[in-house]
């Protein structure tokens, strides 16, 4: 709720600033000169030291967000967390009763499912209930690790609008300072830098926050789905260690 209200406040302030810009432009006199978007961005960024620091900080957040999105796309996927080849190898070893080899394989394999199976095999001497508890703990620990990994996207998605709001406030402070210096007779052109800083910082803050929060939601759902599937696959692989299954295998032999 707080995040939503903060974003709404930024949007409302941006609309108000946009309306004030239109009024100031209408009140101005002289020939209107068009500027390129790149030049406007340059003016908004380097109109003052504080605005430069603020907008460059938002740009830094965008670079980090892009790097995290690419890294998560490569690591948080089924082929890495739940590889079919690893599952097939573990199943073959269990069917051939090569439990020591399966334990060694799961110890070195970096996949989610191998880590859960390894935790269960370590507790094999203590019975299936101990194995099941160990698998649950391992699955929860690895899932929590993945959640912490993607949490940085959520952090960037919440910090960027706040940095944009900071730039908005700073831009308005610049405008009021210029009005005070001119004793209330400041021309619209003299307020342009402050208004541009306020609007542009809000714009880039929201521009960074939206894809970061969207990617965070996507990866959070993916982590939840794949971790649940990996835990179920690990439980199926170790189903032969259940007392009922073991008793049935013994009677069949």
Nearest-5° Cα angle at 153, 148 to 158: 115
Which phi and psi (to 5°) does residue 226 adopt?
-70, -35
Please indicate whether residue 69 or residue 2 has the higher confidence score (pLDDT): 69
pLDDT at residue 128, rounded to an integer: 87
Residue (of 64, 49, 57, 69) closest to 162 by Cα position: 57
pTM for the predicted model, two decimal places: 0.77
Phi, psi of 239 (to 5 degrees): -65, -25
Select from 133, 131, 139 the least CA-distant residue to 82.
139
Model confidence at 175, pLDDT cuts 50, 70, 90, reads confident
For residues 50 and 89, give the distance between their C-alpha atoms in angstroms, rounded to a whole number: 58
Across 45-49, 163-167, 221-225, 249-253, least confident range: 249-253
Q: Considering only CA atoms, which of 173, 190, 188 is closest in space to residue 22? A: 188
Report pLDDT for 34: 61
Weakest-pLDDT range from 31-40, 84-93, 108-117: 31-40
Mean predicted confidence (pLDDT) in 16-32: 45
Instruction: Write down the residue that tokens 């960024």 correspond to.
Output: 45
Specify which of 37-41, 50-54, 212-216, 232-236 reaches the highest per-range mean pLDDT. 212-216
DSSP state of 76: S
Question: pLDDT at position 185, please?
Answer: 76
Q: What is the model's pLDDT at position 189?
A: 72
Burial code (b: 16+ CB inside 10 Å, e: under 16) for 4-22 equals: eeebeebeebbeebeebbe
Nearest-angstrom CA–CA distance, 221 and 47: 42
Quote the distance between the C-alpha of residue 96 and its chain's center: 43
Residue 145 vs residue 10, higher pLDDT: 145
CB contact set of 239 (below 8 Å; sequence gap of 6+): 245
Report pLDDT digits (tens) over 184-196.
777 777 777 778 8
Question: Can you give the pLDDT at residue 138?
Answer: 94
Max Cα–Cα distance, the chain, nearest Å: 99
Alpha-carbon gap, residue 82 to 114, rounded angstroms: 8
Digit-coded pLDDT (tens) for 102-135? 999 999 999 999 999 999 999 988 888 999 999 9
How high is the pLDDT of residue 68?
96
């Amino acid at each position: 709720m707080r995040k939503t209200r903060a974003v709404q406040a930024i949007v409302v302030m941006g609309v108000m600033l946009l309306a004030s810009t239109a009024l100031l432009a209408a009140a101005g006199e002289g020939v209107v000169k068009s500027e390129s978007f790149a030049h406007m961005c340059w003016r908004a960024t380097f109109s003052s030291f504080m605005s430069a620091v603020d907008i460059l900080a938002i740009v830094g957040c965008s670079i980090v967000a892009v790097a995290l999105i690419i890294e998560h796309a490569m690591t948080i996927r089924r082929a890495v967390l739940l590889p079919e080849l690893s599952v097939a190898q573990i199943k073959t070893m269990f069917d051939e009763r090569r439990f020591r080899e399966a334990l060694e394989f799961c110890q070195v394999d970096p996949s989610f499912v191998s880590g859960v199976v390894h935790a269960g095999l370590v507790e094999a001497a203590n019975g299936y209930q101990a194995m099941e508890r160990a698998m649950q703990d391992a699955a929860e620990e690895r899932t929590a690790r993945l959640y912490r990994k993607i949490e940085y996207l959520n952090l960037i998605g919440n910090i960027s609008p706040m940095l944009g709001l900071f730039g908005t406030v700073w831009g308005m402070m610049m405008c009021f300072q210029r009005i005070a210096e001119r004793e209330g007779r400041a021309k619209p052109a003299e307020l342009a830098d402050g208004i541009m800083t306020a609007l542009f910082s809000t714009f880039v803050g929201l521009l960074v926050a939206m894809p970061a929060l969207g990617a965070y939601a996507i990866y959070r759902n993916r982590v939840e789905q794949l971790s649940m599937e990996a835990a179920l696959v690990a439980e199926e692989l170790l189903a032969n260690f259940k007392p009922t299954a073991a008793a049935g295998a013994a009677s069949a032999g």
